[in-house]
Homo-oligomer: A and B are copies of this chain.
Amino acid sequence: MTFEAITNADKTFVQIRSDIIAGRIESGAKLSEPELSTKYGVSRAVIREAINRLAACHIVERKANVGARVVALSPEGLIQLYQVREALEGMAARLAAENMSADEVAQLQDLLVSHKSSIAGSESYYQEAGDVDFHYRIIMGSKNEQLINVLFNGLYHLVRMYRVQLGMAGPRVTKAFDEHLHIATAIANRDGELAEILMRRHIHYSKNTIESLLNNELKG
């Protein structure tokens, strides 16, 4: 998920991306190259390369001779992201049931055991890192390079950005944990069909939760 940032352009890319996802650079803002150049203390060429990568992840949009803007965040956009996730991660769960090694399956279950105890204590940890960890392992377990690329180099950072900026620090912790448990069991039983169904429902529920949150926000 996280990759080794070697060059300055790498580090600047990670930095700016983090600033955008966390909302320190707000949605719709223009990314002026000279401005960012002084702000991050690197040359314009470095900023330019960083912006190019952000555009590749669809975090910003570029227009020729005009510049780059952070993507506009609509509630519909977040819903669309979850639709794609549902299709892709459902498939990932099926493939994981077929292709994960016994070791990887065991590690997946160990992960859930440690999550169970962390839920008893402070739940807040689980929501972010734990959820990502679980999904990460399943996606990697699919052993499908294309799938891994699409999800990690594109969709996941977008999801985080939308969630942060639309204020979805959602609950759904304990219910999600149970769903994770069922998915892991299906994978351990090598039941790809069930694993896919459960994963799709898991993400579908998240989507529904978010939709109702958005609706409440519009009404309130």
Contact = CB atoms under 8 A, between A and B. Distances in A.
A65 B146 contact: no
Interface string A145-156: 111011000110
Interface stretch (A79-87, A128-136, A204-212): A79-87
A146 B154 CA distance: 10
Given A7-B64, A7-B65, A65-B7, A146 B87 contact: no
Contact of A6 (B7, B48, B65): B65
A84 B144 contact: yes
Contacts of A155: 146, 150
A91 B89 CA distance: 13
A80 B10 contact: no
A67 interface: no
A207 to B, nearest CB: 13
Nearest to A147: B84
A139 B65 CA distance: 29
Q: Label chain A's interface by main secondary structure.
A: helix
Given A53-B52, A88-B88, A150-B154, A77 B7 contact: no
A147 to B, nearest CB: 6
A137 interface: no
B64 A147 contact: no
A145 B77 contact: yes
A192 interface: no
Nearest to A148: B80
B77 A146 contact: yes
The 4 lowest CB-CB distance pairs between A and B, nearest first, are: A56-B56, A6-B64, A87-B91, A80-B144
17 contacts: A10-B64, A48-B49, A52-B52, A56-B56, A58-B146, A77-B145, A77-B146, A83-B91, A83-B146, A83-B147, A84-B88, A84-B147, A84-B150, A87-B88, A87-B90, A88-B88, A146-B155
